[in-house]
Structure 1
Amino acid sequence: MGKNSEKPTTSTNAQEIDRIEAVRNLIFGENIKQYNNEFADVYDKIKALQDQTNKNLSESVSNLENKLADLESLMDHKFQDLNSDLDKRLADLDDEKADRRTLGKALEKIALMLQE
């Protein structure tokens, strides 16, 4: 008998829950749909902003890499120019009568060029 008395109670509870759910859907159904639509719009906007941010970040990284490569190339070119200028000036100095003042001035000028 104990088992027979439990089944109607479970069935009655399920029916009550179904009724409550139906009433809730009648009262709040439109609001819930509206909230779901608003949340979907917010998630779409967040996704679009995230995609745009990732794209901007990739472009910035690429731009910085290009600028660093350009700077490296410029520095290599400047270094080669300075080396060739030093070689030329050293060749111009007379090996037997190396003027220390002239050599000192040339080295100072090269040092100043390196600081720029």
Structure 2
Amino acid sequence: MAKTTEKNQEPVANQQIDTRIAAVRDLIFGENIQQYNSEFEDVYNRIKSLEEASQKSLADSVASIESKLADLESLVDHKFQDLNDDLDKKLADIDDEKADRRKLGKALEKIALMLQE
């Protein structure tokens, strides 16, 4: 039982010493610690405001990039459609030219038949 009483007294003694050390520390460094705490609080506030500004800037940049990508996609779709229309027109012209060759061939056949008669 004597050992149990000694163990209980040790934490109480340590607490008293810790309290005394804290009191001495506050007397010696109290003003400096308050100044440091104030400066740290200012720094934390600046960091927080910079972080919020960075997040806002990042969100604005993402929105801008998404808008530009949508514009680019629209432009590419428009150009693709123009090229597709141009290709269709060229194919139609080629078909017309082939039809003209066929007509020319038939006309030449008729001339050849006339010459044979």
Q: Percent of aligned pairs with the same residue?
A: 58
1:78 is matched with which residue?
79
Residues 82 and 11 of structure 1: CA distance in aligned 2, closer, same or farther (over 3 Å): closer
- Which segments of 5 or more consecutive residues in structure 1 lack a partner in the other structure? 99-116
State TM-score, norm by structure 1. Answer: 0.67
Name the amino acid aligned to 2:72. Answer: L
Residues 1:62 and 2:63 aligned together: yes
Amino acid at match of 2:74: S
Q: Return the offset for 1:23.
A: 2.3
Aligned in 2, Cα 1:11/1:60: closer, same or farther, shift over 3 Å?
closer
Matched with 1:103 is: none
Root mean square deviation of aligned Cα:
2.8
Name the counterpart of 1:47: 48
Residues paired across the two proteins, number: 97
* Partner residue in 1 for 2:91: 90
**Which TM-score applies when normalising by structure 2?**
0.67
Counterpart in the other structure of 1:111: none
Runs (5+) with no aligned partner, structure 2: 103-117
Larger radius of gyration: 2
Which structure has more relative contact order (CA 8 Å, sep 6+)? It is 1
